[in-house]
């Protein structure tokens, strides 16, 4: 039977190498602050308690956690002074008073580490009092080394600054992820000292303490491409590497679920985006936020779609920008369309090239095919909006609504001055400015009568030629 689990998440660091006014753990990876991912892992592990150790910008981080995880068993503790990793975990002692089970220690700046790696660490070291996650790196750099005995058993973790030349040659390094028996963990932390190059309390010393007490210690090592999954983000270069790893994972998952990506490396996906099978996505497409794309869709190159739902069998043509919009099945959008917040397209709607919408509802089968602005409007079923039509929704102070009835026909270059209603089946002649309601099945015509002056153009040309001479 599995033991009870608690999580201690370390997120108190200053993150000075990010050179940013934003806390390091709030920098986004695949559309979410990087601290989101270890918290989600903790929830997926079914942790009874999640203790987050904060320091720098703790108010901002705590506010985000309350917003993103309102029902999670998260408790915030403060590390007022940065005295080392052991001290950070020790700050969680009171929050875990009386807890019996395993404590998993994670970092808030390791967004790309999947939950199954933590589960492997747990199962591989089930009988150990301490389990450590390692990475086998070609260039171990400043990472602490996992030092083993002649039989390959872990006996200590030595920070890079404290390594001998022989130890520095070790390529298996500490990933900073641990599982430890709660009782042993806090008893060991109490007696850790600062006899090291940085004069800090090292969490890594719990391994040597366990070995000294002749308690079981285990390690799980990530090899090859997987080794980078546990890399922490310390600067913008690390942030870019974490983003690249997350994008690779999201694209892979999409393709394995039946989505065709013509040029996968150019597609940007946010964590949480959903795409149905048999959808094809061309290069340079970004699907962001809480976006859901249905089955059998075709999204052409250059589109940016955020916080939007798209139904089945839709065709989004090239270079469309769509945000906070609902698109039902069998719609055609673009090219070069911009659908803004509050737009809703019913089944079989067509919104064509260089059409902009905002807070506009198009009922089934409605069309606005060319060069129009439709804002704060309701367009009825099968209505047709001619090229160059504008809903004049703003008077400089307030916004007003335009109502266009089912099967209405709005001629090209029409201005609909809101608030105004065009009834079902009505026709508005091209070039009209509509300021009054149009009854159902009526014709609205506001153009001035045309006057032709014979020979006027020829006289004008002669006059101008005479001036030039």
Residues annotated catalytic, as ranges: 370
Contact 237, 25 (CB under 8 A): no
Residues 6 or more apart from 28 whose CB is under 8 A from it?
34
DSSP of 300-330? -TT-EEES-EE-TT-EE-TT-EEES-EE-TT
What is the full DSSP assignment across 370-416? Answer: ES-EEEEEEE-TT-EE-TT-EEE-B-SS-B--EEE-TT-EE-SS-EE
Residue keyed to tokens 């270079």: 319
Residue 171, φ and ψ in degrees, nearest 5: -100, -10
User: What is the token pair recorded at 85?
Assistant: 């990793």
Torsion angle defined by CA atoms of residues 336, 339, 344 and 348, in that order, rounded to the nearest 10 degrees: 0
- Residue 150 CB contacts under 8 Å (≥ 6 apart), including other chains: none
DSSP 8-state symbol, 229 = G
Cα 66 to chain center, whole Å? Answer: 18
């Amino acid at each position: 039977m599995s033991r009870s689990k608690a999580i201690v998440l370390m997120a108190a660091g200053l993150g000075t190498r990010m050179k940013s006014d934003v806390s390091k753990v709030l920098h986004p990876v695949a559309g979410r602050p990087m601290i989101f991912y270890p918290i989600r892992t903790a929830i997926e592990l079914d942790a009874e308690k999640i203790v987050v150790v904060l320091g720098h910008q703790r108010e901002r981080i705590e506010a985000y956690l309350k917003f993103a995880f309102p029902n999670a068993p998260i408790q915030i503790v403060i590390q007022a002074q940065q005295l080392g990793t052991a001290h950070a975990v020790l700050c969680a002692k009171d929050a875990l008073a009386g807890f019996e089970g395993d404590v998993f220690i994670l970092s808030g700046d390791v967004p790309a580490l999947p939950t199954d790696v933590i589960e492997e660490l747990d199962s591989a070291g089930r009988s150990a009092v301490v389990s450590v996650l390692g990475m086998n790196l070609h260039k171990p750099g400043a990472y602490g080394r996992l030092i083993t005995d002649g039989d390959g058993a872990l006996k200590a973790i030595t920070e890079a600054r404290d390594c001998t030349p022989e130890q520095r040659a070790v390529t298996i390094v500490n990933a900073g992820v641990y599982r430890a028996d709660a009782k042993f963990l806090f008893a060991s932390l109490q007696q850790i000292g600062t006899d090291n190059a940085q004069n800090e309390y090292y969490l890594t010393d719990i391994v040597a303490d366990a070995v000294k007490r002749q308690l079981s210690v285990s390690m799980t090592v990530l090899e090859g491409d997987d080794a980078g999954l546990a890399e922490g983000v310390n600067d913008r270069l690390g942030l870019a590497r974490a983003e690249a790893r997350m994008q690779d994972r999201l694209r892979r998952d999409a393709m394995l679920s039946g989505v065709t990506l013509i040029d996968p490396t150019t597609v940007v996906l946010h964590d949480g985006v959903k795409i149905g099978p048999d959808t094809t996505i061309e290069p340079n497409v970004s699907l962001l936020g809480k976006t859901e794309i249905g089955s059998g869709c075709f999204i052409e190159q250059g589109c940016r779609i955020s916080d939007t739902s798209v139904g089945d069998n839709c065709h989004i043509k090239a270079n469309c920008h769509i945000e906070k919009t609902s698109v039902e099945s069998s719609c055609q959008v673009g090219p070069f369309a911009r659908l803004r917040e509050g737009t809703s397209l019913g089944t079989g709607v067509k919104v064509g090239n260089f059409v902009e919408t905002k807070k506009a509802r198009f009922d089934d089968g409605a069309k606005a095919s060319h060069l129009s602005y439709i804002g704060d409007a309701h367009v009825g079923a099968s209505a047709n909006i001619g090229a160059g039509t504008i809903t004049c929704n703003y008077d400089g102070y307030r916004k007003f609504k335009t109502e266009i009835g089912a099967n209405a026909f709005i001629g090209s270059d029409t201005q609909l001055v809101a608030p105004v209603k065009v009834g079902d089946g009505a026709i508005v002649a091209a070039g009209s400015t509509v300021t009054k309601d149009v009854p159902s099945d009526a014709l609205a015509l506001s153009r001035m009568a045309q006057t032709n002056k014979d020979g006027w153009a020829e006289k004008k040309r002669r006059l101008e030629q005479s001036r030039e001479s």
